[in-house]
Structure 1
Amino acid sequence: MPSSLTPEQIRLVGDTARKLAEADPCNGERGEIVQRLAAVLGVSMNTAYGYLKQYAGWSSNRKPRKGKGETCVPFGLCKKIAGLVVFGTRANGKRTMTIKRAVSILAAQGEGVTNPETGEIFMPSTETLCRAMRQYGCHPDQLERGKPTGQVRSLHANHVWELDASVCVLYYIRGTKRIGLMDERKFNEKKPGNLADIKNKRVVRYVVVDHTSGAFYVRYEQSAGENAQGVLNTLIDFICDRGPNDPAHGVPFILYMDPGSGNASSLVMGFGEQLGIRVIHHAPGAASATGAVEQCQNLVEREFESRQRFHDVPDLAFMQNEADRWRRYYCATAIHTRHKQTRNGAWLSIPADKLRTVERDVLQAIAAWKDERRQVGADFTISVDTRTSYGVRTYDLRELGYHGLNVKDSVKVRLNPYKAPAITVVMERADGTESLFDVAPVEKDAHGFNRDAPVFGESFKAQGDTHTDKVLKEIKKDAFGTDSIEEAEKAMKARKAPYADIDIMADVKEAPLYLRKPGSPVGVSAPVTEIAPMGRVAFALMMKREHPDVWNEITAESCMEWLTERYPDQIPGKQVERVAEQLRERFAPKRATRLEFRPAERSAACAS
């Protein structure tokens, strides 16, 4: 109903109210008067009654009918109708079963309401059933609203971190290292083939946010989807100290994430266990549980990624650098709506005893999957799934035979994504101690192929330009500084950046320096690995390949005799470089001493 009427309309409403006061309330005359008013104003009867009450203070003074607000439709029938509609709704929210169709199906089944006087079963109208369903609270519109959400508080900065990964609208352009924006007309669920073509070229955005302060970190990587290694890389980057103008860092006490395959992997769970981080996963499908990081994902997409259309992004490293620069400025200047401070300002209130710090090399060393057992084959090799892009690889353990390893023995294998495809083999000694050896895989070849896209739309005739089309063409010409739309289209196809004279990052300044708290280091240390020993033959081949001036056809016999006398079986891993240097000092050709002859000076006696 409009909030106001014209003076003439208000006078008409007043005249109608006076006529209603004089009319007989029992013969239907009042209804005809209101109907004429509604026709003149072009509104419904209910709206006309509202105008009469609002502008003339008129009321019929009729008592509400008996049973108002009650319904004869049973709750069970309403639930059954709602159930048919709910279970006929797709995951994207589209209803394939309507209320009208559900009512028709149940009526054909003999369902309905029983007339208490005649005992006849009839089905009420769809409108009546909808009103009853809303009254009972089971209308599909009401059921789709979901459960109400509550708020959970954190105690201090670094108490709770939330992490989430999302495949963004960026991808690597085929045949280049440049980053481009996906065109929704080419890449959508209706064209799965196009999405499959860029599956391994898509860019995944990882965001981790401190729940108390709102300080966050964003990281991009090329991947088909989120994985455990991407989660760990993001956590390590946020935990490590990144300098005085980016203060948020340290080890959190709680990490809250969705139960995705990467987040729930043994790699992430073991990493959290060694650092004293309690990893919590919310229920599947309850994305609102991690609302802080979901808001951050939206923030990054709107405030930073929206600028990339105006950039020529050469590679992912450039984009990550720009994202870091924008994030530092945003966390230092934008006011958070909850605590009314900047994110960095709120984070700096962290108590000194709550700031736990760890060095990057220690974090990378403990980021390992749980140990797995492998049996040594008859050819002294084992096969291991690296759980990375390197896949399943074969490893030769013959050099470990010098330490007592035999065929059919079992060894523990420790996988670390930062060392892949190399693995760490753990040998258990008889005295209960363990020896660790880094082993590289046996090298193998890999191949791939490409195909061309078909030609489409060559015979299509374009329609005439509308005013909007003409304005859009003018915008394109201005954006690329061209005189014709053809030149602008060529610039767009070449993916040149529009508005090259505008600095799209002009509002992003460098974040200020902060006076930081020292923090307390976490008592964890990196495990030490031993270098595998090298047999005499393998050492000789290495010397001949890498040091031909020392070990060659002339010196080979002398070098081997010298080596056999001192190391009859093998060269310890830690002494390989020192032994090579000793051979160089002994057998490498020496530079000859230069002799100079000078004429002797004649004495005075000889001169006379």
Structure 2
Amino acid sequence: MAAMKPRKRRADAGAFALSRDEACSIAALVEETRRLTGTGALPVEDAVEILRSNGRINAARVDEATGEWRALSTSAICRAIRHYGFHREALSAPSPAARLSSPHPNHLWQIDASVSRQFYLADDGTQQMDKRVYYRGKPGNFERIADRRLWRYVVTDHASGCLELFYVQGAESSANLLAALMHTMTQRPTGTMHGIPKMLMMDPGSAVTAGMTRNFLEATGIEPIVNEVGNARAKGQVENAHYLVETHFEARLKLQAPVTSLEEINRLAQEWARGYNATRTHSRTGMTRRDGWLRITSDQLVLAPALDVLRQFAATPPKPCTVRDGFIRFKGGLYDVRGVPGLINGQRVNVIANALAAGDSVRVLMPGEADRQVVHYLAARVSTNAWGFVETAAEVGAEFKSLPETPADAARKELDRVAMEVRTDAEAAAARKSKRLAFGGKVDPMKPLRDAPVAPALPRAGRAADVEVPVVVAQRIEPAPVRAELAALGHYDAATRLKPMVERAGGTWTPDMYARTAQRWPEGLPVDEVETWAVELLAPPRSGLRVVQGGAA
């Protein structure tokens, strides 16, 4: 029997009729309907049917033999979705964690809280959680021991891996977080890691955003780094430290009498941390955690003030101060803020004490960039002479000192140059003086309104008002009769009207005109004869004699 020939490979093998955009739309609709548990998603065939009916996809191919469109099968669509990387297995794979590094100890600390394995501190000592008593169906049992619940705060140094732990009661709070942090920052006889870190990484929560925590971090100059919600891997070092504490320390507590107080469990915790840091080799550094932290230099180690001073920083909120000619007043001292970028005269800024140089400088809190926290700027204290004047002030009559141009001054000048369409400040001032229009008058402020595509309003149908229209009858109003006393003007009133008429015609009002008026109109000049009489007054008076041919008349 002859061997069968191998099947010929299709010319379009490896190609997909379903485009990447259509595969993306189908996968997006399926994932949109999936439950948080990863189940319950809409079937692919239903998603394709919905998107086809809405005109969002074709999911079809052209039959080369007949030239007609044929819908793709569900299996072909699923193969294309997998090829483009939109299948469930690819989407559910965890994103790779970014590798982080720190250049030296105390560059970055991580802090996190978790419920202790001992669970709560009873009258007769620590008690572990009995699953038969404390479970989801009995929330009241949790409430009864809520204030006695044991929490552990673990602090780790990112560079050396050195760790410290501190136990508190109650719940996660700003006071408990700061208590653990201040305990780690202060130098202790049994501890190694101490000082003020440059940055602190922690979980988001009310304890982190509380005003007390913000005040403390701002006063000590610690930059907070809050990881995103649900991204605990960002501080994986401290998460792993919880596991180390639970398995290497708290597991030992089961082999001895129950701990009866916070002081006792914290004392035991310090003994364990001291020994663990000094004896266990860290896999990344190849040395013990204690030896790794001790490589810190004097420039990198910022010593923390006393514990009572640290507590004051937690309770002191920032104080708003007003900038006056490049200076601010804070707790009786004068500080120079002319070097703070973006600060303008008259602006109010938040100021806090500087924990590292109390009295010599303060911290001015300014908003940072979009992806950063508040930026701290140090403002040095300014000394004054015996008369209270600033030492650097210009002496009247002896010297002249001008203040540097502020950002607000520079911005105003730049806007003037742009509006006047010139290059120099002098040209801008001259243009303003000459009343030049902004932008050369080429900007039409009404153009957007004229060009707006406003559709004509169609007449709206309505109904007639249900009211009775009154009948209006026009009334003939007869002119009021002229009063008799106003029909003629007295000689004085007549002269008052005649004089300006005569003068407007180029004549001169004379006493003879007044006499002629009184003689001609002894009872008063009629109102309707005023203009006619004014013309006659301008004519020369008629003589009593007349010339007759042949001699005198």
Q: TM-score, normalised by structure 1?
A: 0.47
Instruction: Give the match for residue 261 of structure 1.
Output: 206
Instruction: Give the match for residue 357 of structure 2.
Output: 523
Instruction: Give the match for residue 158 of structure 1.
Output: 106
Question: Residues 217 and 224 of structure 2 are in contact (CA less than 8 Å); yes or no, is this contact kept in structure 1?
Answer: yes
Instruction: Give the match for residue 3 of structure 2.
Output: 24
Instruction: Give the match for residue 181 of structure 2.
Output: 235
Cα distance in 2, alignment partners of residues 230 and 247 from structure 1: 21
Other structure's SS at 1:218 match: strand
Question: Residues 88 and 96 of structure 1 are in contact (CA less than 8 Å); yes or no, is this contact kept in structure 2?
Answer: no
Cα distance in 2, alignment partners of residues 312 and 90 from structure 1: 47
Q: 2:119 aligns with which of 161, 164, 171?
A: 171
Structure 2 counterparts to residues 109-508 of structure 1, below 5 A: 110=52, 113-117=59-63, 118-125=68-75, 128-172=76-120, 176-184=123-131, 186-189=133-136, 192-224=139-171, 226-243=172-189, 245-315=190-260, 316-357=262-303, 358-370=305-317
Structure 2 counterparts to residues 25-174 of structure 1, below 5 A: 25-26=4-5, 66-91=11-36, 94-98=37-41, 101-107=43-49, 110=52, 113-117=59-63, 118-125=68-75, 128-172=76-120
Other structure's SS at 1:352 match: coil
Q: CA RMSD in A?
A: 3.3
Cα distance in 1, alignment partners of residues 50 and 100 from structure 2: 49
Q: Could you list the runs of 5+ residues in structure 2 that have no partner in the other structure?
A: 321-329, 334-354, 360-553
Aligned CA distance change for structure 1 residues 371 and 353 (closer, same or farther; 3 Å): closer
Instruction: Give the match for residue 392 of structure 2.
Output: none
The alpha-carbon deviation at position 332 of structure 1 amounts to 0.5
The alpha-carbon deviation at position 231 of structure 1 amounts to 1.1
Aligned CA distance change for structure 1 residues 275 and 110 (closer, same or farther; 3 Å): closer
The alpha-carbon deviation at position 349 of structure 1 amounts to 0.6
Aligned CA distance change for structure 1 residues 344 and 84 (closer, same or farther; 3 Å): same
* Greater relative contact order (CA < 8 Å, ≥ 6 in sequence): 1
Instruction: Give the match for residue 582 of structure 1.
Output: none
Question: Residues 249 and 269 of structure 2 are in contact (CA less than 8 Å); yes or no, is this contact kept in structure 1?
Answer: yes
Cα distance in 1, alignment partners of residues 30 and 176 from structure 2: 41
Cα distance in 2, alignment partners of residues 191 and 80 from structure 1: 45
Question: Residues 151 and 169 of structure 2 are in contact (CA less than 8 Å); yes or no, is this contact kept in structure 1?
Answer: yes
Cα distance in 2, alignment partners of residues 318 and 363 from structure 1: 24
The alpha-carbon deviation at position 143 of structure 1 amounts to 1.9
Cα distance in 1, alignment partners of residues 141 and 28 from structure 2: 37
Instruction: Spell out structure 1 runs of 4+ moving beyond 4 A.
Output: 62-66, 88-91, 108-112, 188-194, 431-434
Cα distance in 2, alignment partners of residues 180 and 70 from structure 1: 65
Aligned CA distance change for structure 1 residues 432 and 281 (closer, same or farther; 3 Å): closer
Aligned CA distance change for structure 1 residues 314 and 168 (closer, same or farther; 3 Å): closer
The alpha-carbon deviation at position 294 of structure 1 amounts to 1.9
Cα distance in 1, alignment partners of residues 140 and 23 from structure 2: 43
The alpha-carbon deviation at position 68 of structure 1 amounts to 4.0
Instruction: Give the match for residue 540 of structure 2.
Output: none
The alpha-carbon deviation at position 208 of structure 1 amounts to 1.1
Identity of counterpart residues, as a percentage? 32
Question: Residues 85 and 140 of structure 1 are in contact (CA less than 8 Å); yes or no, is this contact kept in structure 2?
Answer: no
The alpha-carbon deviation at position 309 of structure 1 amounts to 4.0
Question: Residues 17 and 60 of structure 2 are in contact (CA less than 8 Å); yes or no, is this contact kept in structure 1?
Answer: no
Cα distance in 2, alignment partners of residues 185 and 134 from structure 1: 46
The alpha-carbon deviation at position 120 of structure 1 amounts to 3.9
Aligned CA distance change for structure 1 residues 122 and 135 (closer, same or farther; 3 Å): closer
Aligned CA distance change for structure 1 residues 355 and 372 (closer, same or farther; 3 Å): closer
Question: Residues 313 and 319 of structure 1 are in contact (CA less than 8 Å); yes or no, is this contact kept in structure 2?
Answer: no
Cα distance in 2, alignment partners of residues 202 and 261 from structure 1: 19
Cα distance in 2, alignment partners of residues 354 and 77 from structure 1: 56
Other structure's SS at 1:147 match: coil
Structure of higher CA gyration radius? 2
Question: Residues 105 and 158 of structure 2 are in contact (CA less than 8 Å); yes or no, is this contact kept in structure 1?
Answer: yes
Alpha-carbon deviations, 1:380-403, whole Å to 9, x = none?
A: xxxxxxxxxxxxxxxxxxxxxxxx
Aligned CA distance change for structure 1 residues 353 and 186 (closer, same or farther; 3 Å): same
Cα distance in 2, alignment partners of residues 332 and 156 from structure 1: 18
Cα distance in 1, alignment partners of residues 198 and 290 from structure 2: 19
Q: How many residues align?
A: 319
The alpha-carbon deviation at position 160 of structure 1 amounts to 1.2
Aligned CA distance change for structure 1 residues 207 and 77 (closer, same or farther; 3 Å): same
Cα distance in 2, alignment partners of residues 366 and 122 from structure 1: 68
Cα distance in 1, alignment partners of residues 17 and 83 from structure 2: 12
Question: Residues 113 and 122 of structure 1 are in contact (CA less than 8 Å); yes or no, is this contact kept in structure 2?
Answer: yes
Cα distance in 2, alignment partners of residues 300 and 103 from structure 1: 51
Other structure's SS at 1:238 match: helix
Alpha-carbon deviations, 1:459-498, whole Å to 9, x = none?
A: xxxxxxxxxxxxxxxxxxxxxxxxxxxxxxxxxxxxxxxx
The alpha-carbon deviation at position 331 of structure 1 amounts to 0.6
Question: Residues 35 and 41 of structure 2 are in contact (CA less than 8 Å); yes or no, is this contact kept in structure 1?
Answer: no
The letter for the 2-side match of 1:322 is L
Cα distance in 1, alignment partners of residues 208 and 135 from structure 2: 26
Question: Residues 362 and 524 of structure 1 are in contact (CA less than 8 Å); yes or no, is this contact kept in structure 2?
Answer: no
Aligned CA distance change for structure 1 residues 130 and 272 (closer, same or farther; 3 Å): same
The alpha-carbon deviation at position 130 of structure 1 amounts to 4.3
Alpha-carbon deviations, 1:512-564, whole Å to 9, x = none?
A: xxxxxxxxx94348xxxxxxxxxxxxxxxxxxxxxxxxxxxxxxxxxxxxxxx
Cα distance in 2, alignment partners of residues 106 and 82 from structure 1: 10
Q: Could you list the runs of 5+ residues in structure 1 that have no partner in the other structure?
A: 1-21, 27-59, 374-430, 435-520, 526-608
Aligned CA distance change for structure 1 residues 261 and 142 (closer, same or farther; 3 Å): same
